[in-house]
Amino acid sequence: MGKKLTKRDEDYSKWYNELVVRADLAENSGVRGCMVIKPYGFAIWEKMQAGLDRMFKETGHENAYFPLFIPKSYLSKEASHVEGFAKECAVVTHYRLKNAEDGSGIIVDPDAKLEEELIVRPTSETIIWDTYRRWIQSYRDLPLLINQWANVVRWEMRTRLFLRTSEFLWQEGHTAHATEKEAIDEAEMIMDLYADFAENHMAMPVIKGVKTESERFAGAVETYCIEALMQDGKALQAGTSHFLGQNFAKAFDVKFATKEGKQEYVWATSWGVSTRLMGALVMTHSDDHGLVLPPKLAPIQVVIVPIYKGLDQLEAISEKVEPLAKELRAKGFSVKYDNRDTQKPGFKFNEYELKGVPVRLAIGQRDMENGTYEIARRDTFEKETVPMDEVVPKIEFLMEDIQKNIYTKAFDYRQQHITEVDSYEEFKKVLEEKGGFIAAHWDGTVTTEDKIKEETKATIRCIPIEGDTTAGHCMVTGEPSVRRVLFAKAY
C-alpha cells in the first residue's frame, strides 16, 4: 500500500509488474523464471479452473493425470514437435545427491546418472500418445476425450509474471477420434468454448481465428486461437486448440479397427489455456487505481467496511451487518466483512480498490441513523446511498451490471483498435501511433510475413473466422490476397 501505482500511460509495463505484486497475485521466486502464485491470485485462478472444468465436463471430457517426465526419445518421435521444444526444456540427468568427499557440501552423485535423460514436460502430446497406443484398439474406444490440469516447464530467458514464466500451470486437452471431420469439429468446438469462457467469465472480448503456418503449434496441421487486445494496444493469444491430423498417431503408432475391421490411424486434437489468462485478465480491465475484476471471477465480490469510533459503535454496526452478510452468502455471493481494528477505513478502501473487489459497502453513524449503506462500484467509482432493504437487490443488479459494463468497455476499446489499412506505409504508421489489430491484405507467403515481422515486430495474430472476407492485394507485394488478416504486436 502507501505508494501510488505507476500510471498506465507513464509506463504500462511497469504498471503491470507493480500491480501483479501489490495486488497479491504473484511474485518472483528465488528460482529463476518461476513465480509464486499468492493466495489472492490463486483464488482467481481456482475460479477460472472451476469454470473451465465444468465446461469441459459438460462437453464430455474427463480428467486424468500423466507423468511429469518425458523420456528424451519420446520427444524426438514427432520431428517438428521436438524442433519446437528442444531449445527451452529442463533436463533431468541424475537421480541422487550426496555429500562431497572433500566436505564441500552436497553435490550431484556422478554414480546416479540416468540411462536416458528425462525432460520436464513442456506439453504432453508425446507421453499421452504413448499411453493412447495402449488404450485405443477399436472404434468402440473412440472418441477419447481427456483433459489434464498440470504444471509445465519451458525454459524462458526473459520472463514476466503470468505472461511468460519458465513454469506455468495450465490445462491440456488431448482427444482421439475416428475421423478427420470429428477431430476438426472438436478443435473448433474447443475454440468456441474458450471464446465463451473468455467473454462470459473473464469479460474479455476475443477474436477467433486460425494461425498461419509459421505461428502454428509444433506438430499441428491447424492451430485455432482466440486473440485478445490489451489496453496498450498489444494483442495476447489467450488460448489455442490444435487439429493434429494423424501426426502423433503415426509417430506413436496408434491405430484402431474400424467398424469394417480395417486398421486406421487415429485423428487427434490438443488444446490448452494457462495461467497466462491471469495476465490477460489484469491487462484487460484494470486501471491506475488497481485491479478491476469481473464479478464472476472475483474471490471477494462484496466487501463491507464499518466506519466507527470505539467498540460500542463497531458492535452496533456488526449487529446490522452480520444478517446482511449472511443473506448475501446464502444467495451465493462471496462477502467479506472487514472489521479489523488495526486499519483505518481509508486504508481498507484503498486496499480493496487495489484488489479489484467489485462492490464495496460502507456503513457509518449517519447510515446507522438513516438505515442506509453507501454502495460503491469498483468499475465506475459511482457511489450511492441505499436503504438497507434495497441492498440485496442492488447487489444482485450490480454483479450483472459490472460484468456487462467491463465487457462492453473492453469491447468498445477493441473495436476502436481494429484498423483497416491498404498500404504498408499506413500499416507502419498505425502500428506506431495507435497500435491494436490491423486488418490488412497479405499474400499468404512466409517470406512476406517474416519481412513484416522483422521490420515492424508485428505478427499475424490470426486469419479471422468471422468478418469481412473480401479478396484484395497484399499491402507489401501487391500479390493477390484471399482476405484480410489481423496483424498486431503481441505479448
Contacts to a second copy by CB under 8 A: 27, 29-31, 34-39, 42-43, 45-46, 62-72, 74-76, 82, 86-98, 105-106, 108, 117-120, 127, 130-131, 134, 140, 146, 150-151, 153, 155, 167, 169, 342
Coil, helix or strand at residue 178: coil
Instruction: Give the count of beta carbons closer than 10 Å to the beta carbon of residue 455.
Output: 12
Q: What are the CB-based long-range contacts (under 8 Å, 24+) for 315-319?
A: 316/368, 317/363, 317/368
Find the shortest distance in angstroms from Cβ 37 to a second copy.
Answer: 4
> Which of residues 90 and 314 has its CB atom nearest to a second copy in the complex?
90
> Which of residues 350 and 445 has its CB atom nearest to a second copy in the complex?
350
> Which of residues 93 and 469 has its CB atom nearest to a second copy in the complex?
93
> Which of residues 95 and 397 has its CB atom nearest to a second copy in the complex?
95
Phi (first) and psi of residue 100, to 5 degrees: -65, 140
Distance, C-alpha 135 to centroid of its chain = 31
Least Cα distance to 26 among 167, 217, 154, 144 occurs for 167
> Which of residues 14 and 140 has its CB atom nearest to a second copy in the complex?
140
Residue 398 one-letter amino acid:
L
Find the shortest distance in angstroms from Cβ 15 to a second copy.
Answer: 22
Phi-psi region of 42 (alpha: psi -120 to 50; beta: other; left: phi over 0): alpha
- DSSP annotation of 69 reads E
For residue 467, give the C-alpha cell.
Answer: 468478418
Find the shortest distance in angstroms from Cβ 339 to a second copy.
Answer: 15
Which residue is listed with cell 505472461? 163
> In Å, how far are 9, 52, 163, 352, 463 from 207, measured between CA atoms?
25, 19, 19, 32, 10
> Which of residues 119 and 273 has its CB atom nearest to a second copy in the complex?
119
Find the shortest distance in angstroms from Cβ 290 to a second copy.
Answer: 20
